[in-house]
């Protein structure tokens, strides 16, 4: 049985079709937004969460969105989740920053991250570069190892 649902694209605020089949394997599920002209691969844990959510919905029309476009809805849900989990209050947009920061820490390139998040230029992602000061130490260590190799192979002057 094929079910079609709509999900809101966070970049263009456009309704994006999210098609799921009950008999489909969950691996590498793409979410395509025609207006943004990009495909995002959803992780398995999120696909499972969405499938569970769809099973709880009694009736869902082909033309409906999964979540309302209204920013107020998302803010209210964030507040509800924050109170329930007793974590420090953050703004909704901070989740986008956290996602980008996590992808950087996981070692993905700025080009790949920009493609996923809808940034037209990787210059925007350079705002995150200050978050990883340990990278400077890593660079120095790797250059040091190169220097050690060069020292051992250096030809001494006669």
The 8-class DSSP code of residue 44 comes to: H
Cα 62 to the chain's mean position, in Å? 26
Positions of the chain with pLDDT lower than 70, given as ranges:
1-39, 58-71, 129-134, 149-158
pTM above 0.85, yes or no: no
Are the C-beta atoms of residues 33 and 16 closer than 8 Å to each other? yes
| pLDDT recorded at residue 92 | 76
Q: For residue 8, give the H/E element and its range.
A: strand 2-8
| pLDDT recorded at residue 4 | 43
What are the residue ranges spanned by the domains of the chain?
1-69, 90-158
Are the C-beta atoms of residues 29 and 39 closer than 8 Å to each other? no
| pLDDT recorded at residue 84 | 94
| pLDDT recorded at residue 118 | 79
């Amino acid at each position: 049985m094929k079910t079609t649902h709509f999900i809101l694209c966070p970049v263009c605020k456009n309704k994006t079709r999210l098609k799921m089949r009950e008999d489909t394997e969950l691996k590498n599920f793409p979410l395509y937004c025609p207006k943004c002209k990009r495909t995002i691969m959803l992780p398995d844990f999120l696909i499972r969460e969405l499938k569970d959510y769809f099973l709880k919905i009694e009736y869902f029309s082909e033309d409906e969105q999964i979540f309302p476009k209204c920013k107020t809805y998302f803010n209210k849900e964030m507040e509800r989740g924050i109170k329930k989990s007793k974590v420090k209050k953050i703004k909704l947009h901070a989740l986008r920053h956290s996602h980008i920061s996590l992808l950087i820490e996981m070692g993905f390139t700025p080009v790949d991250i920009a493609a996923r998040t809808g940034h037209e230029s990787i210059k925007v992602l350079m705002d995150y570069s200050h978050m990883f000061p340990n990278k400077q130490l890593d660079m120095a260590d790797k250059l040091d190892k190169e220097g050690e190799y060069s020292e051992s192979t250096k030809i001494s002057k006669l």
